[in-house]
Amino acid sequence: MEVTADEFASVTGGRWEVRPATTWRYRGLGWAWQTCAPGRIIVARGQGFRYGIDLSTLKRDMGHHGVILGADTPRPKGNLPILRVDSIHHAIGKLAGHVRAQVDTPIIAVTGSVGKTTTCHLLHHLLGSLGAVAMNGQCNYPDGIIGEAANLGQVDYGVFEASLQGLGEATTILKPNVAMVTQVSPVHLAETMSLLELAKRKAGLFNALAPGGTAVINRDIPYFTEVLGIANANTRNVLTFGEDARAHFRLVDYDIAEQRVKARILGEDVEYELGIRGRHMAINSLGVLAGAHALGVDWNPLLARFAAARPVSGRGTVERLQLGRIRVSIIDDAYNASPAAMEAAFTTLGTTLPTGKGRRIAVLGDMLELGDDSPAFHRQLASPLLASGIDKVHAAGEMMKWLWEELPPERRASRAAKANDIFRPLVRSLTDGDVILLKGSHGTGVHQLAEDLRYLALAPDLGEVGLWASCWLVAAVHGVERYAPSRIRRWVAWEVSKAVKH
């Protein structure tokens, strides 16, 4: 697909303030940092667009082909071509629609309460062996969807993650060939939204399917019949996956120790190794195979690639850390949380063996956005937690008090209003061989505890002076507001000394 400068301005409804050379051609959109490849035109950060690039941080020698500015964005220095538009969101929406109409790139869109990020990650991993893949990653709001849709002319496949907010205008522009619902569970529920209503809204992705497209549905989700009804109203092509015996892509068994998946796929028995731990991840991998099959890809030769798959950061990554004289493992699953995701994480922790006299420790933060039933959802975590054989629980947040009250005293370690206040009792209580799960909604800050532990692990090798230097280096790169001097002093004066004394 080739678009000249004049055609580009016409499609977006913009005007060139600094015209490009006559040989200029559209080579893709840099709408977020991960998409800023040389040769692309950069979207400046501004009002009305969720993502975009801060032009003050943009290097001038990266070979970019211009900048798109909103109506009120100041003009940057330099001689890059500049396209001025009234609304960045509307301009990119028009561009995405134009690109989608011109190309026949196979596209799969994925939504669900949980599992959509890992599913997209695995799809990218498999399809990447066959060609170039456009993926919006976790930028799953409308602007992320249309931003990456504008890059479909440069790739062989498109993999798109769609949040609840991303369904509608953006996915209608996208017109996916395959639309998948991974899971329906209580998460991001408005106070007036029932689980049934959430299921129907997630199934709204099927309304955006391209003609002849395929709906892929987790056969185990609640309200499957209602979701299937919406799919059938939009397409005759439906594939299912899950543990249900009727699923087209069915999980037969999963060995967590060997990380091997046994499945029956369209009547064929298969077995493969999965590099990402967890039974729920095995189910996600079957959704990936169903999606690839729906795209027309021969999935069987791709099975061997699953062994090399690795978790997305904050979604089940396992790390071993040396803290003073003790060695611990952390399962960083703290990017987000819901009841289903919590139970899956408990199962993973329960099937992970500590070393020596180590214990299984859960560091948990509130599950946010669960509506009026939030206390009940937190209380109900006690049963799967205890069944998983977890030894100690550190709980942070207002809602976690409901789980705390359901736990027997011998399982309680510490509780605090904020995740940051758990760090001291957690470090003080650690013993050699412990396995620590960190899980909570992103807004609770539990994910920051994982980062704290990583930096604490530097202390035995670097000493206090080295730790100071490393922390200030991080501050210089990421901003001092996140790694404030008071926090660094806390690490050096207290946590480091406590850890080293073990």
Report which listed range, 202-206, 324-328, 364-368, is most confident.
Answer: 202-206
- Indicate if the pLDDT at residue 68 is higher than 80: yes
Higher pLDDT, 188 or 118: 118
CA-CA-CA-CA dihedral for 187, 188, 193, 197, to nearest 10: -70
- Indicate if the pLDDT at residue 501 is higher than 70: no
The Cα 163–Cα 402 span in angstroms is: 28
* Residues found in the chain: 502
User: What does the pLDDT read at residue 55?
Assistant: 82
In three state form, how does the secondary structure of 295-349 look? Answer: CCCCCHHHHHHHHHCCCCCCCCEEEEEEECCEEEEEEECCCCCCHHHHHHHHHHH
List, for residues 205-235, the tens digit of each pLDDT value.
Answer: 999 999 999 999 999 999 999 999 999 999 9
- Indicate if the pLDDT at residue 110 is higher than 50: yes
Sign of CA dihedral 147, 152, 156, 162: positive
Arithmetic mean of pLDDT over the chain: 87
pLDDT band at 239 (very low <50, low <70, confident <90, very high): very high
Q: Which of 284, 304, 299, 43 is nearest to 161 (CA)?
A: 284
* Residue pointed to by tokens 């309460």: 113
User: What does the pLDDT read at residue 475?
Assistant: 46
Predicted TM-score of the model (pTM) = 0.78
Higher pLDDT, 450 or 482: 450
How is 65-133 classified by DSSP, letter by letter? --EEE-TTPPPPSSS--EEE-S-HHHHHHHHHHHHHHH----EEEEE-SSSHHHHHHHHHHHHTTTS-E
- Indicate if the pLDDT at residue 201 is higher than 60: yes
Q: Which of 319, 330, 340 is nearest to 361 (CA)?
A: 330
User: What does the pLDDT read at residue 461?
Assistant: 53
Q: Which amino acid is at 82?
A: I
pLDDT band at 140 (very low <50, low <70, confident <90, very high): very high
- Indicate if the pLDDT at residue 499 is higher than 60: no
Cβ(44)–Cβ(92) below 8 Å: no
User: What does the pLDDT read at residue 478?
Assistant: 41
- Indicate if the pLDDT at residue 462 is higher than 80: no
Tokens of 307: 């062994």
For 189-206, what is the mean pLDDT? 84
User: What does the pLDDT read at residue 458?
Assistant: 65
Tokens of 160: 């798109």
Tokens of 180: 């998948």
For 405-423, what is the mean pLDDT? 91
The Cα 72–Cα 75 span in angstroms is: 9
List, for residues 338-368, the tens digit of each pLDDT value.
Answer: 888 888 889 889 888 899 999 999 999 998 8
Strands 260-265 and 268-273 turn out to be antiparallel
List, for residues 296-316, the tens digit of each pLDDT value.
Answer: 999 999 999 999 998 777 677
The Cα 391–Cα 199 span in angstroms is: 35
- Indicate if the pLDDT at residue 168 is higher than 70: yes
